[in-house]
A and B are shown apart, each in its own frame.
Chain A
Amino acid sequence: MRMLPVLTRLAWRYLWRNHRRTIIMLSAISIGAWAMMFMTALSRGMVDQMILDGISVLPGHVQVHNPQYLDDPSVSNRILLGENELADRFASLGFKAWASRVKVPAVISSEYESRGVTLLGIDPMAEREFSFVSYDEVEGRFLESAEDTGIVIGRKLADKLDTELGKRVVLMSQDPENEIADRGFRVVGLFTANMPAFEETFVFISRKAAQKMLRIGDATIEVVFLGDDYRDVEPTYERVVAAVDGTLKVSRWHEIDTYLGTMLKVMDGFVLVWVVVIFLALSFGLVNTLVMAVFERVREIGLMLALGMKPASILGQIIIESMLLLAVGLAIGDALTYATVQPLQDGIDVSVVAEGMNMWGAPSVLYPKLYLYDVVLANVVVLILGFLASLSPAWRASRYEPVEAITKVG
């Protein structure tokens, strides 16, 4: 350990003795590190946005249903609690937001077309905070109260149905007795959404109108709760579980939308795999550089050994060399990543390929997200693997026989 400052100095000087090779290696390392982190930031941003969008449609981090509803989303599987009973249970528990809604499959028809949709009967005031529709951007108006008699549909759906603001459409679904439940509604608003698919899938009517149409009294289908952070839903989950009895099913969002839940988990694994893959490509260059560096000065190493330097110090010197190279490369790579992610904070418009992206639920604007966790992961993985990769050339260098090494021609 006493030798460390000397060895570091030797290593540092040696690095710059062949500065051209070092600079090439440095740029390889820094570009590799940049690629790891920049790509990770892009995919993180994409997945985050997908999850945020997905959660905004669910919505709510924790949901309560009739136990059968998730398997069979029909009006028969409803929650037999009135508005007041729900409020008694949940209003005083201090959730960031909560709302009860009617959610059933339905068919919407105009004079010319019919489409299958998800009918949402909502209390617009309670959902203002977490709806995926921003009320102010609705063409026309959004629903104004839980008694509103209008319907708000997506811009895209309106085009498909060949209907427009102010016209009437007919909603058809089933009541609990499997009888047809239908009613005419006047389109009072057209919404737009980040994801064009949502515009075709969801229609909003007021909760009271939905309950009346489906003949379910003041029963509801799902109750949704919003916690503080979608990554940590346990506190909200536990509070909701404590407030309902066993007859209702409480689910976290990633249990309802397993695709999104899995996405989040896969992402963590993906980052590590990505970092390792890039490093593997990088490591060939690194090992090659070190092997060259050792070959080049076999005689010098022999001399140092002959002068009494311990093999362990030779080993240390080579490893320190490689660590210095990696550290400097990583530092440049980190700076490069920061410098490229920062100007892109406002999002990258990828609407050119939006249609393809939307097919698997990704938004058309990418917001790169650089997490400290990912940066630390990339740096640590590169340093550890770099250390392992440099062991072999370093070991060989330390095992030279001094006399042979000094007399080696080359």
Chain B
Amino acid sequence: MPAFAADEERTATDIVRDAVNHWRGLSSYTEMTMVIHRPDWERSMTMRAWTLGQDQTLVRVIEPKKDRGNGTLTDKNSMWTYSPKVNRVIKIPSSMMGQSWMGSDFSNKDVARMDDIIDQYDHAILSEEEVDGITVYEIESIPHEDAPVVWGREVLKIRDDHVVFEHAFYDQDGELVKTLESLEIGEMGGRTIAKRQRMSKIDTPDEWTEIGVNEVEYEIELKESLFTLSNLRNPR
């Protein structure tokens, strides 16, 4: 019995790892539009993002004009931002990691530490079901006792083709707090990916952030020098 349990857990972890790898690839270039919606206003931003391996990410805003050039660089657990208006690179201190990233419903931590989901949690398959001919695994991820995660548990719905269908965050009483849903799934850059995702809180249904992928390329040649502070400041 214990052997079986271990076996099953490895499988669940593998599914999660594959999903993260599928989303990021070994390297990637994405152009995306982020829409931040609030009851009385809405704004959208278009950004370009490059990723290399598990650790390195560079995001740069191209629109709207007033935010053009704002950038975020992450390397392992560290995160820096650059704003041309103040012409300063600022390292995000730990005290600000929980705060909102570029005014969205994502926190800095969500952006900087996406792959924490793999090794800071225990994963278990809750159910498997067939939707439109594709197997969807429902995986329950419970953070380790000392993991820097506030959630009680997270439930991921991952399709057989590694697309994350839904990511739900529950508090420690088992109440659903927020969800990241994939609204549109399709072919892009040679892969099936979530083309539009929405993060929303259960308490405030009319506040949400949507990220739509406009263009994506995977497994491209990226230089390490792209992910440096000097490149964050002076794009080449």
Is B93 in the interface zone, CB < 8 Å from A? yes
**CB-based nearest B residue for A174:** B94
* Contact code string A169-198 (vs B, CB < 8 Å = 1, else 0): 111111000111111111000000000000
Name the A residues within 8 Å of B94 (CB-CB). 107, 172-174, 180-182
Q: Tell me the smallest distance from the CB of A221 to a CB of chain B, in Å.
A: 17
A170 touches B95 (CB 8 A): no
A170 touches B77 (CB 8 A): no
Is A351 in the interface zone, CB < 8 Å from B? no
B172 touches A168 (CB 8 A): yes
* 4 smallest beta-carbon distances between A and B, as pairs: A182-B148, A111-B171, A180-B94, A172-B94
**CB-based nearest A residue for B98:** A114
B148 touches A184 (CB 8 A): yes
B78 touches A109 (CB 8 A): no
Other contacts beyond A107-B95, A170-B150, A182-B148: 5, CB < 8 A: A112-B171, A114-B99, A180-B78, A182-B94, A184-B144
A168 touches B150 (CB 8 A): yes
Name the A residues within 8 Å of B143 (CB-CB). 168, 184
Contact with A169, one of B78, B150, B177 (Cβ below 8 angstroms): B150
The count of residues in chain B whose C-beta lies closer than 8 Å to any C-beta of chain A is: 23
Name the B residues within 8 Å of A182 (CB-CB). 94, 97, 148
Is B38 in the interface zone, CB < 8 Å from A? no
Q: How many Å lie between the Cα of A107 and that of B92 in the bound state?
A: 14
Is B91 in the interface zone, CB < 8 Å from A? yes
Q: A111-B171, A179-B78 are in contact. Are A184 and B147 (CB under 8 A)?
A: yes
* Contact code string B97-125 (vs A, CB < 8 Å = 1, else 0): 11100000000000000000000000000
B172 touches A111 (CB 8 A): yes
The count of residues in chain A whose C-beta lies closer than 8 Å to any C-beta of chain B is: 27
Is B145 in the interface zone, CB < 8 Å from A? yes
Is B151 in the interface zone, CB < 8 Å from A? yes
Spell out B's residues near A (CB within 8 Å). Answer: 77-78, 91, 93-95, 97-99, 143-152, 169, 171-172, 177
Is A76 in the interface zone, CB < 8 Å from B? no
A184 touches B93 (CB 8 A): no
Q: How many A-B residue pairs have CB under 8 A?
A: 65
Q: How many Å lie between the Cα of A112 and that of B172 in the bound state?
A: 11
* Contact code string A82-118 (vs B, CB < 8 Å = 1, else 0): 0000000000000000000000010101111010100
A172 touches B177 (CB 8 A): no
Q: Is the interface of A mostly helix, strand, loop or mixed?
A: strand
Is A149 in the interface zone, CB < 8 Å from B? yes
Is A167 in the interface zone, CB < 8 Å from B? yes
Q: A109-B98, A178-B91 are in contact. Are A183 and B171 (CB under 8 A)?
A: no
Q: Tell me the smallest distance from the CB of A140 to a CB of chain B, in Å.
A: 15
A184 touches B149 (CB 8 A): yes
Q: How many Å lie between the Cα of A100 and that of B98 in the bound state?
A: 30
A107 touches B148 (CB 8 A): no
B77 touches A111 (CB 8 A): no
Q: Which of B97, B145, B150 has the most CB of A within 10 A?
A: B150
**CB-based nearest B residue for A166:** B172
B150 touches A110 (CB 8 A): yes
**CB-based nearest B residue for A175:** B94
Name the B residues within 8 Å of A171 (CB-CB). 148
Contact with B172, one of A149, A167, A172, A185 (Cβ below 8 angstroms): A167
Name the A residues within 8 Å of B93 (CB-CB). 174
Q: A111-B177, A172-B98 are in contact. Are A184 and B78 (CB under 8 A)?
A: no
Name the A residues within 8 Å of B149 (CB-CB). 170, 184
Name the A residues within 8 Å of B97 (CB-CB). 172, 180, 182
A184 touches B151 (CB 8 A): no
Q: Tell me the smallest distance from the CB of A44 to a CB of chain B, in Å.
A: 40
Q: Tell me the smallest distance from the CB of A215 to a CB of chain B, in Å.
A: 12
Name the A residues within 8 Å of B98 (CB-CB). 107, 109, 114, 172
B146 touches A149 (CB 8 A): yes
Q: How many Å lie between the Cα of A172 and that of B79 in the bound state?
A: 15
Q: Tell me the smallest distance from the CB of A112 to a CB of chain B, in Å.
A: 8
Q: Tell me the smallest distance from the CB of B151 to a CB of chain A, in Å.
A: 6
Q: Tell me the smallest distance from the CB of B99 to a CB of chain A, in Å.
A: 8
Q: A111-B172, A167-B172 are in contact. Are A186 and B78 (CB under 8 A)?
A: no
Q: How many Å lie between the Cα of A167 and that of B152 in the bound state?
A: 9
Q: How many Å lie between the Cα of A2 and that of B120 in the bound state?
A: 97
Q: How many Å lie between the Cα of A178 and that of B79 in the bound state?
A: 11
